[in-house]
Amino acid sequence: MRTVLVTGGAGFIGSHVTQALLDRGFDVVCLDDFNDYYNPAFKRENVAPFLENPRFHLVEGDIRDRDLVFATYRQFGISTTVHLAARAGVRPSIANPRLYEEVNGVGTVNLLEAAHRFGAYTFIFGSTSSVYGINSKVPFSEEDPIAYPISPYAASKRGAELMCYTFHHLYGLKVTVLRFFTVYGPRQRPDMAIYKFTELLAKGKPVPRFGDGSMARDYTYIDDIVRGVMAAFDHEADFEIVNLGGSRTTTLQQLIELIARELGVPPLVEELPLQPGDVPITFADVSKAKRLWGWQPEVPIEEGISRFVRWFKAHRLG
């Protein structure tokens, strides 16, 4: 049975992927630094159910620490890497671009080097729809030119994608790059829009709405993302870039109204100017995932928001 390294395995997407791998009988090594980008207690809570499982191994540390990364591959005999650790967030990256390049760039290189050095030749990388920038063509296809990222976060993730290809070309690493489109669901990071809007509206406070509410996003429920990651895991590619998205758009105003309806409260809004780094729309063309793996999104935004609000009421409201 393969031993899988999940970087960022205590985070939102990482903890769900870790659960899926453990459910299938794999040994899983979670490498996470439990940084304070958001409350580390939430990440501790995410991995708490795994700690008694003998097939789960927790390594606390930073992917920028090359010695630690190499020691982890050596100690556990890693055969497959699911690289989800990242410094996330468009707006914070504008304030601290060096940190984003160090974590998302140098950290990724450390993992690629270790994967090559220790023969862990299957590498799955969690990228982002942000790499598409302001793309005038919708929906976004993996074949679209993406030479102009508009935030340090997007640039750092695109650079990491290119480095993944370089290691595939030079050393034969089998790499699948997954471009995630605005993932949401239980355990979601509290800095993300759906969580923040739900929390504010539940407390009777207005939601900060940047722009006129027409900005649109392709939201993807966590269960669909996990199925996509597992499909990449099962269908080992030489090198592929694949979109994983809900493949429909929801405007900011529609999202606010949908959350408010689920909570049974009025959709209060505070109007604010547009923010640097925000793109007007994201919209995934997922035909490649369907062609390669038979994957397509199954949870529509209405059902996903209903599930998230139920989780929020049970775990965060109080």
Domain containing residue 65: CATH number: 3.40.50.720
| Domain enclosing residue 34, as ranges | 3-186+219-247+283-299
pLDDT for 199 beyond 90: yes
Q: What is the mean pLDDT of residues 254-264?
A: 96
pLDDT at 316: 84
Amino acid symbol at 219: Y
**Is 153 a catalytic site residue?**
yes
Confidence of residue 1 (pLDDT cuts 50, 70, 90): low
Is 117 inside a domain boundary? Answer: yes
Confidence of residue 272 (pLDDT cuts 50, 70, 90): confident
In a domain, 311, yes or no: no
Q: Are 172 and 121 in contact (CB under 8 A)?
A: yes
Alpha helices in the chain (DSSP H): 12-23, 40-47, 66-76, 90-95, 97-101, 107-117, 152-171, 193-202, 222-234, 252-263, 287-293, 301-315
Q: Average pLDDT in the 217-222 region?
A: 97
Dihedral over alpha carbons 43, 49, 52, 58 (to 10 degrees) = -20
Angle at 42 between CA 41 and CA 47, to 5 degrees: 95
Is 170 among the domain residues? yes
**Stretch (H or E) spanning 27:** strand 27-32
- Helix count (H) and strand count (E) of the chain? 12, 13
Residue of higher predicted confidence among 317 and 16: 16
pLDDT of the residue at 2: 87
Domain for residue 167, yes or no?
yes
* 153-189 confidence digits (pLDDT tens): 999 999 999 999 999 999 999 999 999 999 999 999 9
Mean pLDDT of the chain: 95
In a domain, 317, yes or no: no
15 is a domain residue = yes
In whole angstroms, what is the distance from residue 237 CA to residue 293 CA?
11
Name residue 175's beta-bridge partners.
Answer: 123, 239
- Closest Cα partner for 82 from 256, 229, 257, 226? 229
Structural domain includes residue 214: no
Q: Which pLDDT does position 275 carry in this prediction?
A: 79
Number of domain units in the chain: 1
User: Could you give the CA distance from residue 256 to residue 133 in angstroms, rounded to a whole number?
Assistant: 24
132, 153, 184, 221: the catalytic one is: 153
Residue 90 has pLDDT above 70, yes or no: yes
Whether residue 309 is contained in a domain is answered as no
pLDDT tens for 124-160 read 999 999 999 988 789 999 999 998 899 999 999 999 9
> What's this model's pTM, rounded to 2 decimal places?
0.96
Per-residue pLDDT averaged across 201-223, rounded?
A: 93
Handedness of CA 150, 151, 154, 156 (dihedral sign): positive
Q: Examine the pLDDT at 318 and tell me if it is beyond 70.
A: no
